[in-house]
Amino acid sequence: MPSTSHVPRIPRLRKRTLALTAVASAGLTVAVAAPALSHGYTTAPISRSLLCGRGTVKNCGDIQWEPMSVEGPKGFPRSGPGDGRICAAGDGRWAPLDDPRGGQWPATKLTSGQSYTFSWNLTVPHATASFRYFLTKDGWNPAQPLTRASLDLTPFLQVNGRGRQLAQAVSHVGSLPARHGRHLVLAVWDIADTGNAFYQCSDVDFG
């Protein structure tokens, strides 16, 4: 399986930087928009964005180059990305993450009531307010886009960050709620010193 550290966009950005350096050395002034930084994704259970980044799922659009960049307004569930746009954090660039694909996203097998280790890879650490994990209700239709009505809006696991910057590899251990069949885990990484959060959707199967 390809390494999660391989991000195809990096060579493209390097070429762009070299080109701008050449222009600057010629004495010209340029004004460009800074590229979006990449920040973090869930590795367990594997998220839709990482499945796209690894090429396991095809036709993902630009998220295949930036599985770490699913960033949007924080404040979920009272605010934040709108219903049907939650998995993409309300950002149209990542809209393929909201496509349920007929309920056929690859799913991680889980077992109700057991302890599970939820893992993140943080490519750019931030001061952290919290990590929160939500789960869809029994009866959720995996062939429909994710909405607040389909989620239990009380996190089954919450870890406070106390404003600290964390290491690249972050793990949280929690007990899995009782569920049956296919579900979706929504992981929200709330940033302490900005108005944003990172959103990761992971398809799971409780059997």
DSSP category for residue 168: S
Residue ranges with strand state E in the chain: 40-44, 71-73, 108-109, 115-122, 128-136, 151-160, 169-175, 182-191, 196-205
Q: How many residues does the chain have?
A: 207
Residue 51 falls within a domain, yes or no? yes
| CB-CB contact of 151 with 135 (8 Å) | yes
**pLDDT grade for 186, boundaries at 50, 70 and 90:** very high
Residue 27 falls within a domain, yes or no? no
Radius of gyration of the chain (CA): 18
Residue 1 falls within a domain, yes or no? no
Residue 98 falls within a domain, yes or no? yes
Q: What is the per-residue pLDDT across 135-171, written as a single tens digit (0 to 9) for each?
A: 999 999 999 999 999 999 999 999 999 999 888 899 9
Residue 54 has pLDDT above 60, yes or no: yes
Residue 70 falls within a domain, yes or no? yes
Domain that holds residue 163: 38-205
Q: For residues 55 and 39, give the distance between their C-alpha atoms in angstroms, rounded to a whole number.
A: 19
Q: What is the per-residue pLDDT across 96-131, written as a single tens digit (0 to 9) for each?
A: 999 999 999 999 999 999 999 999 999 887 899 999
What's the domain count of the chain? 1
In b/e form, how buried is each residue of 98-116, taking b as 16+ CB within 10 angstroms?
bebeeeebebeebeeeeeb
**Six-digit token string for 63:** 């998220």
Please tell me which residue, 37 or 17, carries the higher pLDDT value: 37
Residue 129 falls within a domain, yes or no? yes
Residue 108 falls within a domain, yes or no? yes
Query: Quick one: pLDDT at residue 103?
Result: 97
Residue 67 falls within a domain, yes or no? yes
The CATH number of residue 73's host domain is 2.70.50.50
For the chain, how far is it from start to end, CA to CA, in angstroms?
A: 25
Q: For residues 146 and 23, give the distance between their C-alpha atoms in angstroms, rounded to a whole number.
A: 46
| CB-CB contact of 185 with 134 (8 Å) | yes
